[in-house]
Every structure is written in C-alpha cells, then in structure tokens.
Copies of this chain bind each other. A is one copy, B any other.
Amino acid sequence: MKKQNVTIYDVAREANVSMATVSRVVNGNQNVKDATKQKVLNIIDKLDYRPNAVARGLASKKSTTVGVIIPNVTNTYFASLARGIDDIATMYKYNIILTNSDGNNQRELTSMNTLQAKQVDGIIFMGNEISEELRSEFKKSRAPVVLAGSVDASGKIPSVNIDYRQAVYSEVTNLINNGNDRIAFVSGPLERSINKDFRLKGYKDALTDAGIPYEKSLLFETDVSYSGGYALRERLQKNEVTAAIVTDDDMAAGVMNSMTDDGVSVPGEFELATSNDTKLTEMTRPTMSTITQPLYDVGAVAMRLLTKLMNNEDIEENKVFLPFGLKKRESTK
C-alpha cells in the first residue's frame, strides 16, 4: 500500500482553511492569526505534511539549490573549497548540486546546461581555465555565477581568490634569500591563465627584482598529480636546480619524494615550497613549506557572494582577494 503523499490541499481541508493560509504559515508569513496558525501547525504535524520543493520551485521560480562545478572532488584543494561552499549554502537554506568536470571544457559546458535546466538559483564554478564558450554561457545564464579559487583572465566574472602572483612572488623571493639562484617553477599547463598570467608572473617578477636572469629551461610543466611531480626528478637534476616552487601539493609531494628517494637531502641540497596548504603539507617527511591560504573560506566567501548576487543585493566588489601567508616547514631552510 503506497502511501499517498499529503499535499497542502489536504492540510487545508483538514484544518478548514484555504491553501493560501497553509502556505502562509509554512512560509512564516506574519499575516496569520496565532490561533489559526496553531491549528494549521497541528494538522501539519498530525498529517506529517512536508512541502514539495519541486512544486514550490515551479511556482516561485526559485529552486533554493545552487550548482557547483568542480574539477574533481577527490582533489583535497577543491574539496576544501566545496566544504566551505556547502556550509554557507546550508546556512542560507540552499542545497548544492555537485558535478565533476575533470577540467574538461565539454563537460563544463554540459554541466552548465543541466544545471540551468534544473533551474539552479546560482552557480559556483571551480576550474583551471575558462574557455570563451564557457564565458559566454556564464553571461547567458540567468543564474549568477561566481568563481571560487579560479581565475578569470577577462576579469569580469565575480570571483574569490588569493593574489596568486603576489603569493608566488613572496615565496620565490624567500627562496632567493635562502641563496638559491636556480629555482624551478613547477606547474600544470602554462596555457592556463592562473599559471601563466599570475603564478609565472610572480616567479618572473621575483627573479627580476633580485637581478636573476630568467631561464626557460627552469620551467616544468606537467600533470597536476603526484606522479606528474614524481616523474620530474631527472629533468630537475639535469638542470641543476637547487630549489623549486610547486603550484600543487600533490605534485609537490611527488617532486620532493622523488628527490629524497634518490638520496637528495631536503632542504640541504634541494629546497621545495608548495602552494595550497592542504593537510598533506604536514604529512610528508620532511613537511612542506607552503603558501597558506584559507581554502575553506575561499569557498565560503564565494557562496556568500553568490547569495548576495541571487538577492540582487549591491556588491561593493566583484572580485574578492583573501589574504595569504607563507608557512615555513621543513622543506626550506
């Protein structure tokens, strides 16, 4: 015997009021006499009535859900942002539809489409690069879009980040001050704006300001993964680098382990600094010095920004930059 779902109409009838009144008490509208409100509440309780969010969404044109596009939940960096997003979303009574894109442009576009089909009220995008198509999809979207921990070359999309250029600049400067002049820059694909226009820029600026010539051979592009980093050892050694700045913690762990596994002493013969401040930086031996950044907060603030956008509130600033720091651990002198 399949239990028929109880609707707003059922409780209206049972309570001898109109649907409108039931709707009012359910939605906390003040214009209801206390007595009737109680009466309705009782019936709701008795019937175990639960509002159907889908019907509500159709009628109100608000789904109280936001879409989240993430490269891969399995990546601690993005997962940390996602956690911040979900917490703030929950706080504001939104749910999250999560879709993994693997940073694949086609899948990002597909996600945008299904998310919009599901009438999400807003979208948070995390990704390494924003294609032109994607950008135009963002623009067309009736749901506002906010970038979290992701850089937009055009600079027009609301976003929450840290100042990647400045962060890398500081860290490289630190490495230089430690006496290094052959510092590797290890990152994912340089075609990505975040790597090319910000991090690499910071790296170059630091070298320039220190009067150290920039060498292309010290750029190492690879998979953003542990194994991607691990595979770099020979090339690194051949180029006689004495230090490296790495843009991802998994990748950094790979680089460092490949060195220590080969008998290289860290930080004695090789210094390493990484970028994402995930808990992995404390789990490796030696522990890894890193740029610190409030991962959770980047997600949280992005979601908060999105709530404002969804409410058409005035925004002081479209692009917010959260403070970063430098944490010295064992992998640098």
Contacts and interface: CB of A to CB of B under 8 A. Distances in A.
Interface stretch (A70-78, A156-164, A209-217): A70-78
A97 interface: yes
A226 B54 contact: no
Interface string A230-271: 000000000000000000001001000100110000000000
B76 A80 contact: no
Contacts of A50: 113, 116-117
Interface stretch (A196-204, A278-286, A301-309, A314-322): A278-286
B65 A74 contact: no
B74 A63 contact: no
A235 to B, nearest CB: 21
A323 interface: no
B99 A86 contact: yes
Interface in A90-136: 90, 95-100, 113-119
A283 B5 CA distance: 51
B100 A99 contact: no
Contacts of A114: 53, 95
A79 to B, nearest CB: 5
A295 to B, nearest CB: 9
A282 B100 CA distance: 24
B117 A51 contact: yes
Nearest to A63: B54
Contacts of A83: 72-74, 100
27 contacts: A5-B142, A50-B116, A52-B58, A52-B117, A52-B119, A53-B117, A53-B118, A54-B54, A54-B58, A54-B118, A54-B119, A55-B58, A65-B97, A73-B79, A74-B76, A74-B79, A82-B98, A83-B100, A86-B99, A96-B98, A97-B98, A226-B283, A250-B279, A250-B283, A257-B283, A284-B284, A284-B285
Interface of A: 2-3, 5, 50-55, 57-58, 63, 65, 68, 72-74, 76, 79-80, 82-83, 86-87, 90, 95-100, 113-119, 142, 226, 250, 253, 257, 260-261, 279-280, 282-285
Given A226-B283, A261-B285, 5 more contacts: A72-B83, A83-B100, A90-B99, A257-B285, A280-B283
* 8 shortest interchain CB distances as A-B pairs: A98-B98, A53-B118, A53-B117, A54-B57, A73-B79, A54-B119, A253-B283, A74-B79
